[in-house]
Structure 1
């Protein structure tokens, strides 16, 4: 590494720093500065990085992956993640990474070692999606090790990933089906289903919704998943549902939750799982018969409507379908859903193709028609 004063043909003077990334035999690199102080600062930074690199490699030769994760990565990186994301990362690491790679020293985690790990997880029957998620977590951990100069490169980036399983096409529920589910639900659940199906909210976004977020024409969504805020169009039938639900609640406050739990606070994770579950809770012990139990309220409504495989997230697709049926652009739909246009096109491309030549129907008109049809069907059945 060296710093030189260079005089150019035009008489100007510059300062050039020369260095090699590796040892002797590696290519020489250089950078030129007009001010000597800038060149000196740059040279000092190179020397600092070289010293840290040597120290980092020394640490990496002795520190195992488990030691690095528990001692450095988890305390410094996990607190920056959303609680739900941190929990998923921890679960993936404990189940798929630590038992197989945790004992290896950082410098022993090579692309070949990771490839063997991936193949072994496949042969053990682990799902491809889980393996891909675990590899993403491992790559994130190793990238932090690179940034702290414990590793010279991230070996996870050189691994050929297992192919993702083909993704099934989403099948949005028609408004008539949504209305059948609402008819089989309590007032609260029917309104929650309306929010999911006619505003396209993620379930956790709906449960975090407060009355102050609901305006005359739009609803403000603070998405915990993306950390972004968006305004979602408030369809008139949904606004009517929300108005009716609000009138049925005593002592409603502007900052109150639209769908509070039994204690007035946000639903606990177990409460939501109980509401949405399809199977009885609990695991069967050896020798024990399958427990008889009923599905949760949402699943019961889905069964009565003839769509037993539906989940709360399925209703998000219904909102997208309503907008596409109106003739809205992919960009518009993506903004309403809170993700990018490429994801919208990849997920709903077949829906777009199917509706390409279909007559345009307004979302509000489609919902009202479904409600009129349900009233007629109920009248016929009563007769």
Structure 2
């Protein structure tokens, strides 16, 4: 349609059509936001006198409680994944709340074990058949994440294992600088990590769990142990604290005095 013919009813009809197609509520709201920005620009440039989308209510997204695991379930899942190459990756995710691609994109230059921090700079994904590190999900996704003592010790163990594998691989080793690698130093494929996780989750009796479930579980543990919502939002790399509230607003601190991390064996 040409700009001069667009009416609010057309925008409403478009939103309804997206709903009929089965798109997620968050996707529809994002699409509406993009359309409104385009039409606002047209008004600014004099191509339209008013923005038709301004008269249409912004699509709502129903708040959903994030699916997360209990400390016992996390312990059982990590135990089931013990023999997997990706066991340390899963453990780091549940310690830090990183996204899968963020953790797989980590290089040793991003990790400061002396200060107990790591820096998220991008996300690893397979694009057109190649593994590439791309820009993170949002501007706030580029962040510094604190490491607990167990998480720092975990990464020290990864360093030790990687050094051993480097020696064993000899001339076949490719020095890429990644924290999580194959036996020859190449970055790990996110799809292989997902397959390994699903196999471990099935063995642990929680087949519906996903890698993102570990991120949610980490956030819930932080909040129940009294970490402020704003701090958790920054650690997770949410674009605003409102997102953190929407997803985790139901989680309350507890004074149970449980050990940290709560899924560690006694």
1:135 aligns with 2:55: no
Q: What's the CA shift string for 1:46-94, capped at 9, x where partnerless? A: xxxxxxxxxxxxxxxxxxxxxxxxxxxxxxxxxxxxxxxxxxxxxxxxx
- Calculate the TM-score normalised by the size of structure 1: 0.56
Q: Select the residue among 98, 114, 120 that pairs with 1:221.
A: 120
Q: Select the residue among 101, 117, 122 that pairs with 1:204.
A: 101
- Calculate the TM-score normalised by the size of structure 2: 0.77
Larger Rg: 1
How far, CA to CA, are the matches of 2:64 and 2:256 in structure 1? 26
Superposed, which structure 2 residues align to 1:137-152 within 5 Å?
137-152=34-49
Q: CA, structure 1 residues 198+148, in 2 after alignment: closer, same or farther (shift >3 Å)?
A: same
Equivalenced residues, count: 240
> What SS is found at the alignment partner of 1:219?
strand
Contact 2:219–2:232 at 8 Å: present in 1 too?
yes
Unaligned runs of 5+ residues in structure 1 are 1-103, 277-295, 373-383
How far has the Cα of 1:254 moved from its partner?
9.2
Q: CA, structure 1 residues 323+129, in 2 after alignment: closer, same or farther (shift >3 Å)?
A: closer
Root-mean-square deviation (CA, aligned residues, Å) is: 2.8
How far has the Cα of 1:238 moved from its partner?
2.0
Unaligned runs of 5+ residues in structure 2 are 123-135, 167-172
Q: CA, structure 1 residues 274+327, in 2 after alignment: closer, same or farther (shift >3 Å)?
A: same
How far has the Cα of 1:172 moved from its partner?
2.4
Provide the residue aligned with 1:28 in structure 2: none
How far, CA to CA, are the matches of 1:215 and 1:259 in structure 2? 16
How far, CA to CA, are the matches of 2:108 and 2:21 in structure 1? 49
Q: Select the residue among 2, 5, 8 that pairs with 1:111.
A: 8
Provide the residue aligned with 2:229 in structure 1: 330
Contact 1:325–1:362 at 8 Å: present in 2 too?
no
Contact 1:170–1:347 at 8 Å: present in 2 too?
yes
Q: Select the residue among 294, 307, 327 that pairs with 2:206.
A: 307
How far, CA to CA, are the matches of 1:360 and 1:253 in structure 2? 45
How far, CA to CA, are the matches of 2:144 and 2:18 in structure 1? 42
Provide the residue aligned with 2:53 in structure 1: 156
How far, CA to CA, are the matches of 2:23 and 2:263 in structure 1? 42
How far, CA to CA, are the matches of 1:162 and 1:309 in structure 2? 29
1:258 aligns with 2:179: yes
How far has the Cα of 1:201 moved from its partner?
0.5
Q: CA, structure 1 residues 227+260, in 2 after alignment: closer, same or farther (shift >3 Å)?
A: farther
Q: Select the residue among 161, 168, 174 that pairs with 1:248.
A: 161
Q: What's the CA shift string for 1:118-162, capped at 9, x where partnerless? A: 234444555544433322232233233334432233322221244
How far has the Cα of 1:256 moved from its partner?
0.6
How far, CA to CA, are the matches of 2:250 and 2:93 in structure 1? 22
Provide the residue aligned with 1:56 in structure 2: none
1:230 aligns with 2:129: no
How far, CA to CA, are the matches of 1:106 and 1:266 in structure 2? 47
How far, CA to CA, are the matches of 1:241 and 1:201 in structure 2? 15
Provide the residue aligned with 1:182 in structure 2: 78
How far, CA to CA, are the matches of 1:255 and 1:262 in structure 2? 12
Provide the residue aligned with 2:190 in structure 1: 272
Provide the residue aligned with 1:239 in structure 2: 152
The higher-RCO structure (CA 8 Å, 6+ apart) is 2
How far, CA to CA, are the matches of 1:257 and 1:147 in structure 2? 46
> What SS is found at the alignment partner of 2:250?
helix
Structure 1, 296-305 or 320-329: larger mean CA deviation = 320-329
> What SS is found at the alignment partner of 1:351?
coil
